[in-house]
């Protein structure tokens, strides 16, 4: 049995919250383990001034940590699952999907007004094409502005008065104790979340069986079914985090329900579809459902929408 574990993490407040959470949970189950954090600076942290949607490259927040994992400088990496590309590098694997937080997105606005009540042409801060597409489909008048930096930085920018509103994931806002700033929690009918939103992905080397056995204690089976279905959908549509795709899986008593959205950046075209599969007994079957829903969307023209976006970015 291992005596020491090193967790690799970014150093943003949310990443640290996630790594500390993982450390605390592992210590609770394995009190004899000596667990340390190793902070890793990633390309995503360095490129703070480039609009996220234009950097294009996938895995900005994860690749550099993965290098440390491959080099055996760390034993596990803790990521926000939604930042983890669906093609995991050779030799690495997401061993655990932790229990999801509320997956919805939220709006923080001046005066606490709701999305529908925002003034015409209001400045809305988000760097996510997924949020932009769904927002513009409801409110084509919104003036969408890029915003970068970690959550605390974004609140600072918002408080400096640059925007009328900004959009964030509930999970991060809640974990960093900003919940009292939420003006509206958007239901899935209005805004489908990013694939994997709200869950942590705990990545290990495939062949490090000891670490995998330890880390597996944090896997939440229900979350794994849902997130593997969502990730299979995204992989099949060949979309990274910077493509306007939203998805939400729910799983109960062997029945998986998966909802998905694919839209154009301007919100003028949007496809919604869903799939329900019963009698599932393995996460691989959930992945098959994700692929089947991706096929349904492709048959309705998702490929045309997505190739148009890839061409212009
Ligand atoms: N891309 C940045 C990112 N990665 C994970 C979260 C929040 C936590 C989560 O959604 O799991 C955020 C911030 C946001 O989108 O508001």
- Structure letter (DSSP) for residue 40: -
The number of domains in the chain is 3
Q: Whose CA is nearest to atom 6 of ligand 1?
A: 172
Q: What is the pLDDT of residues 239-277, one digit of tens each?
A: 654 689 999 999 999 999 999 999 999 999 999 999 999
- Indicate whether 226 and 299 sit together in one domain: yes
Closest CA to 15 of 215, 166, 147, 152: 152
pLDDT for the residue 242: 67
- Short-list 201, 217, 125, CA closest to 163: 125
What CATH number corresponds to the domain at position 139? 3.40.190.10
Question: What is the ipTM score, two decimals?
Answer: 0.96
Concatenated DSSP letters for 45-84? HH-TTS-HHHH--S-TTTHHHHHHHHTTS-SEEEEEGGGS
Q: Examine the domain organization and report whether 235 and 258 are in the same domain.
A: yes
The CATH number of residue 234's host domain is 3.30.160.40
For strands 255-263 and 105-109, give the pairing: unpaired
Q: How many CB atoms lie within 10 A of CB 309?
A: 20
Residue 77 lies in a domain: yes
Q: Examine the domain organization and report whether 92 and 109 are in the same domain.
A: no
Which of 21, 80, 170 has most ligand 1 atoms within 8 Å of CB, for mutation?
A: 80
Q: Which of 163, 185, 207 is the last residue of a domain?
A: 185
Range of the structural domain that residue 82 is part of? 1-98+199-219
Q: Are residues 47 and 120 in the same domain?
A: no
- The answer on pLDDT for 49 being more than 90 is no
Cβ of 105 closer than 6 Å to ligand 1, yes or no, is: no
| 233 and 166 within one domain | no
Q: Residue 282: which residues within 8 A CB-CB, separation 6 or more?
A: none
Q: Which atom of ligand 1 is nearest to the CA of 81?
A: 11
Task: Provide CB contacts within 8 A for 262, sequence distance 6+.
Answer: 237, 244, 245, 270, 271, 297, 302, 305, 306
What's the pLDDT tens digit per position in 159-172?
Answer: 999 999 999 999 99
Same domain, 62 and 23: yes
DSSP 142: -
């Amino acid at each position: 049995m291992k005596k020491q574990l090193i967790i690799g993490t970014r150093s943003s407040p949310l990443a640290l919250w996630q790594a500390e959470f993982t450390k605390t949970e592992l210590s609770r189950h394995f009190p004899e383990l000596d667990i340390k954090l190793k902070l890793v600076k990633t390309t995503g942290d360095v490129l703070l001034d480039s609009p996220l949607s234009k950097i294009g490259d996938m895995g900005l927040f994860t690749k550099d940590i993965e290098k440390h994992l491959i080099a055996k400088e760390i034993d596990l990496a803790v990521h926000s699952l939604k930042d983890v590309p669906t093609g995991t590098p050779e030799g690495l694997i997401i061993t655990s999907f932790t229990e999801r937080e509320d997956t919805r997105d939220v709006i923080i606005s001046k005066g606490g007004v709701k999305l529908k009540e925002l003034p015409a042409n209001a400045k809305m801060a988000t760097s996510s094409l997924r949020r932009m597409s769904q927002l513009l489909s409801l409110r084509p008048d919104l003036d969408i502005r890029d915003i970068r930096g970690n959550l605390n930085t974004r609140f600072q920018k918002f408080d400096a008065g640059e925007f009328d509103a900004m959009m964030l994931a509930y999970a991060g806002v809640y974990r960093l104790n900003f919940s009292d700033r939420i003006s509206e929690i958007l239901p899935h009918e209005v805004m489908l979340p990013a694939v994997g939103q709200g869950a942590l992905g705990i990545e290990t080397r495939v062949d490090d069986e000891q670490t995998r056995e330890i880390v597996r204690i944090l896997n939440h089976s229900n979350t794994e079914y849902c997130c593997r279905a969502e990730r299979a959908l995204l992989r099949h549509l060949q979309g990274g985090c910077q493509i306007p795709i939203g998805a939400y899986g729910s799983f109960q008593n062997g029945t998986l329900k998966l909802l998905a959205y694919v839209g154009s950046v301007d919100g003028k075209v949007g496809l919604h579809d869903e799939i329900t599969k019963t009698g599932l007994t393995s996460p691989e079957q959930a992945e098959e459902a994700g692929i089947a829903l991706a096929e349904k969307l492709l048959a309705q023209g998702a490929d045309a929408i997505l190739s148009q976006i890839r061409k212009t970015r």
